[in-house]
A and B are shown apart, each in its own frame.
Chain A
């Protein structure tokens, strides 16, 4: 079974501070991991995916298979980063058609 856990429902930081949104997963095969973001009054959109190894809006995420984690990090948070963040997993092979989402973390960046 696929499972994604985001232990923090709410996370509040000050502008300029580092931020880390935690994500742990459970999957027996080789998963593909994603971070999706939803800004206020906007639709859910892809932020980044681990296979791309990219940095989007200053965010990075490293897949740690040993710890089954895919934490999202940014060294200096900005007010415009305030949003709902969802970690998601896609299984390989025959189950690659669906995403399993975590419950999300609401990030608030205070001025």
Chain B
């Protein structure tokens, strides 16, 4: 059983650029969530994808967008990067089976994004 993998591990961009972060879900998982973790803060929910559709979104502007592919891997895209976008971006997969409760999340190691 493979865990959640994210790439790249580190990334440096300049303000105004665009970035794509990638995530491979744990085997058998059909749901992926993305979180932003700024320094000294807890992870903050960006959005979740279930079966290739956005299933919920946090308080992030539209320049944060995502995709989920048929194999359940996922991308997070951020346009027009701002300095405050510098953070650790975490991907988490889970197996949603239509229950009301939140299923256990399995996190990746994250991508550290620095915007200069």
Q: Which of B45, B55, B109 contacts A99 (CB 8 A)?
A: B45
Residues of B within 8 A of A (CB): 3-4, 33, 35, 40-45, 48, 55-56, 58, 90, 100-102, 104-110
Contact status B104-A46, CB under 8 Å? yes
A101 and B109 within 8 A (CB): no
Decide: A93 near B100, CB < 8 A? Known: A98-B45, A98-B48, A103-B40. yes
Interface of B is mostly: loop
Which residues in B have their C-beta under 8 angstroms from that of A97?
A: 33, 48, 55-56, 102
Residues of A whose CB lies within 8 Å of any CB of B are 4, 32, 34, 43-46, 49, 51, 86, 88, 90, 92-93, 95-104
29 A–B pairs (Cβ distance < 8 Å), ordered by A: A4-B42, A32-B101, A32-B102, A43-B109, A43-B110, A44-B43, A45-B106, A45-B107, A86-B43, A90-B101, A90-B102, A92-B101, A93-B100, A96-B101, A96-B102, A97-B56, A98-B33, A98-B45, A98-B48, A99-B33, A99-B35, A99-B45, A99-B105, A100-B45, A101-B35, A101-B44, A102-B42, A103-B41, A103-B42
